[in-house]
């Protein structure tokens, strides 16, 4: 089974702090994603990565950065946390070239609920 | 850009009954994938069912089936013989056939199953 894990289920930080959210997948997937989930807004893509050291902005990248130094690990960084970044953060992974093989499912982690005070 | 619309923020169903969740999408592409994901309370999001746009036959997975109307750009999810464990947020998602691996999600439908 594909396993996507996230470093924390719950996190409380203060305004202005630098925050790191870690995601690890164990299925050698090339693609990794960070989403933000808010009530009434669904899932919105922050960043994704299709290879080590490669990244692409999603729909709401402002205030966030990412790092992918190893294939299995994708980090989301809040450089200076703000209260409007209080949210549920979901990480996901999928295999590359999945479009052509049909196995294009994204596998999700359990989520990190971040509160910024 | 593609958009996905789920017009029912909340739905409820009696145990053992059937419920249909609606999803419409907007795209100019002819080849794409559609998905329904389930997110139980405090649990991980999992894939329920997927549909390739080039396939005319509607996908089914046990008690879950879809009604895919390509011309109408509609992709509804039918849950038969509803069970208490079906209570969850359900998200409809769209993925292009080529290019980006990104999913575009709807805002979700919260399904309550009443005993």
Q: Which is more confident, A102 or B55?
A: B55
Closest Cβ–Cβ partner in B50, B91, B97 for A99: B97
Q: How many helices (H) and strands (E) does chain A have?
A: 1, 11
- State pLDDT tens for residues A39-66: 889 999 999 998 898 999 999 999 999 9
Q: How many other β-carbons are positioned within 10 Å of the β-carbon of residue B63?
A: 13
Is residue A68 within 8 A of residue A23, CB to CB? The reply is no
Q: What is the pLDDT of residue A73?
A: 97
Closest Cβ–Cβ partner in A96, A104, A109 for B95: A104
- Model confidence at B96, pLDDT cuts 50, 70, 90, reads confident
* A1 lies within 8 A of chain B by CB: no
- State pLDDT tens for residues A65-105: 999 999 999 999 999 999 999 999 999 999 876 545 555 78
- State pLDDT tens for residues A10-30: 999 999 999 999 999 998 899
Does residue A2 carry a pLDDT above 80? Answer: no
CA distance A108 to chain B (A): 6
In the block, tokens 């999700």 appear at A108
């Amino acid at each position: 089974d594909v396993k996507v894990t996230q470093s924390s289920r719950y996190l409380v930080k203060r305004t202005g702090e630098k925050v790191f959210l870690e995601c690890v997948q164990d299925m050698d997937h090339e693609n990794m994603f960070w989403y933000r989930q808010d009530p009434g807004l669904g899932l919105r893509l922050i960043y994704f990565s299709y290879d080590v050291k490669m990244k692409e902005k999603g729909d709401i990248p402002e205030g966030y950065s990412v790092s992918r130094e190893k294939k299995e690990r994708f980090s989301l960084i809040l450089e200076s946390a703000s209260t409007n970044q209080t949210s549920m953060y979901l990480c996901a992974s999928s295999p590359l070239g999945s479009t052509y093989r049909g196995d294009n499912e994204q596998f999700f982690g359990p989520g990190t609920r971040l509160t910024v005070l | 850009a593609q958009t996905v619309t789920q017009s029912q923020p909340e739905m409820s169903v009696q145990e053992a009954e059937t419920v249909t969740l609606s999803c419409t999408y907007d795209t100019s592409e002819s080849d794409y994938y559609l998905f329904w994901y389930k997110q139980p309370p405090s649990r991980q999001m999992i894939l329920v069912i997927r549909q390739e746009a080039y396939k005319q036959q509607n996908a089914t997975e046990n008690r879950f089936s879809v009604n895919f109307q390509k011309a109408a750009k509609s992709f509804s999810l039918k849950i038969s013989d509803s069970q208490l464990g079906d209570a969850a947020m359900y998200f409809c998602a769209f993925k292009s056939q080529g290019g980006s691996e990104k999913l575009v999600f709807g805002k979700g439908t919260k399904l309550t199953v009443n005993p």
